A = this chain, B = another copy of it.
Amino acid sequence: METVPKATVRMNSKKTGSEAGEDALIARIRRALPSRPGAQLRTGIGDDAAVIRPARWREWVVSSDALIEDVHFVAGAQPPESVGYKALARAISDLSAMGARPRFFLLNLALPRERIGRWLDECLQGMAKAARRFGMTLAGGDTARSRTIALNLTVLGEIAPGRAILRSGARPGDRIFVTGELGAAQLGLEIVLRGLAGQSRWRELLAAHNYPEPPIVLGQWLARRGLASSMMDLSDGLSTDLTRLCKASGVGARIQASRLPMVKVPRALAERGVEALPLALHGGEDYQLLFTVPARLAGRVPVKHDGVAIAEIGEIVRGRGIELLAKDGKSGRLAAEGWDHFGGRA
């Protein structure tokens, strides 16, 4: 029970030279990603920890998220650039969901030796793309060798005091909104799963799966205006995430299938059994926003903001659970059927 296979133990006093390995890798990461210290980031990557001076009258919003090989992605099936982009974008989505402005991130990178070359370069390029797009500066992190790839991202954002939008604020009568096209990321994954990702005709539909775009400008706008009573991001599918929001708020919800902004499924895929409604209800990884607005303020929510479509899909009700009003007028209970890492099988 106490015997350790020597080969797998961390500490082994091998001659290495600090120039060669880890330090060189850190220098490479530093060059690839925006990481220049500034007025607020006083000490960035390269020291034991980052030192950040808070802006006056700002609260910090902090979240941490992992992207793991063979759990969240398959290295041979997903372009490395997308892996890097997505790892950061989905972490940023948690800031977006609070209404915060993204600022700094830390990257913990665990890699097998064979991924240190070209794969890592492309992965970092994708991450740099997301960093620039969402205004993030690398502030620190860690590297380690491991059997599988794991990217752990910690993101820090800023918000005016008391303005963060929580999951727990939904009240009966509030209107329910979602952004974007529900199921778009899952549709991209279905294309990959069917071995069709190589065909150029589907390329455009893969974007939502490979390069999600959390609507951070809208999130901040909602927080500034004080319009939303509750908010979260759609990461595990509407049915699961709305169930979570309702549970946190102690309420139920009624949504209308006819109002769901569903992704359009091309006929060739529909013929292969891909249906829009299940994608929209249960498909994950859209990284769009789900939020509620008190009825008297609902008219102030535009149908589009900063290029992002916004749709009212139902309302918050007393009680528990989600009622789905189908297009034929029938209604039924909607069960949480999105992804759950530790749930049992159906």
Check A54/B51 contact, CB under 8 A, given A64-B142, A339-B14, A344-B20: no
Instruction: Choose among B52, B145, B193 the residue that contacts A59 (Cβ–Cβ < 8 A).
Output: B52
- Number of contacting residues on A, CB 8 A? 119
Q: Known: A74-B8, A144-B72, A152-B152. Contact between A113 and B342, CB under 8 A?
A: yes
Pair A152/B108 contact, Cβ less than 8 Å = yes
Residues of B within 8 A of A335 (CB): 15, 17
Q: Return chain B residues, CB-CB under 8 Å to A9.
A: 74, 189, 193
Q: How far is the CB of A25 from chain B (nearest CB, A)?
A: 5
Q: Which residues of B contact A13 (CB under 8 A)?
A: 186, 237, 278, 282-283, 337-339
**Which among A40-48, A123-131, A173-181, A303-311 touches the partner chain?**
A40-48
Q: How many copies does the complex hold?
A: 2
Q: Does A63 contact B (CB under 8 A)?
A: yes
Contact bitstring A93-123, B, C-beta under 8 A = 1, else 0: 1110110100010111010010010000000
Contacts of A72 in B (CB 8 A): 10, 144
The CA-CA distance from A185 to B72 in the complex, in Å, is 35
Bound Cα distance A13, B339 (Å): 6
Contact of A216 with B by CB under 8 A: no
Chain B neighbourhood of A51, CB < 8 A = 59-61, 98, 159, 164
> A246–B54 Cα gap in the complex (Å)?
30
Residues of B within 8 A of A59 (CB): 42, 51-54
Does residue A331 face the partner (Cβ distance < 8 Å to B)?
A: no
Q: How far is the CA of A150 from the CA of B104 in the complex (A)?
A: 23
Query: What chain B residues lie within 8 Å of A66 (beta carbons)?
Result: 108, 110, 142, 144, 150, 152
Q: Is A316 an interface residue (CB 8 A)?
A: no
A77 on interface, CB distance cutoff 8 Å: yes
Q: Which residues of B contact A48 (CB under 8 A)?
A: 63, 93-95, 97-98, 167, 232-233
Please name the 8 residue pairs, one residue from A and one from B, whose CB atoms are nearest each other, closest first: A16-B343, A21-B343, A15-B346, A21-B342, A49-B63, A16-B340, A48-B97, A54-B54
Residues of A in contact with B (beta carbons under 8 Å apart)? 1-6, 8-18, 20-25, 42-43, 46-54, 58-66, 68, 70-74, 76-77, 93-95, 97-98, 100, 104, 106-108, 110, 113, 116, 139-148, 150, 152, 154-157, 159, 161, 164, 166-168, 185-186, 189, 192-193, 195, 197-198, 232-233, 237, 240, 243-244, 247-248, 278, 282-285, 335-346
Known: A14-B343, A43-B164. 17 other contacts (CB 8 A): A1-B77, A2-B195, A8-B71, A10-B285, A11-B283, A13-B338, A16-B336, A17-B343, A18-B240, A18-B340, A21-B342, A22-B341, A24-B342, A25-B342, A50-B63, A62-B154, A66-B142
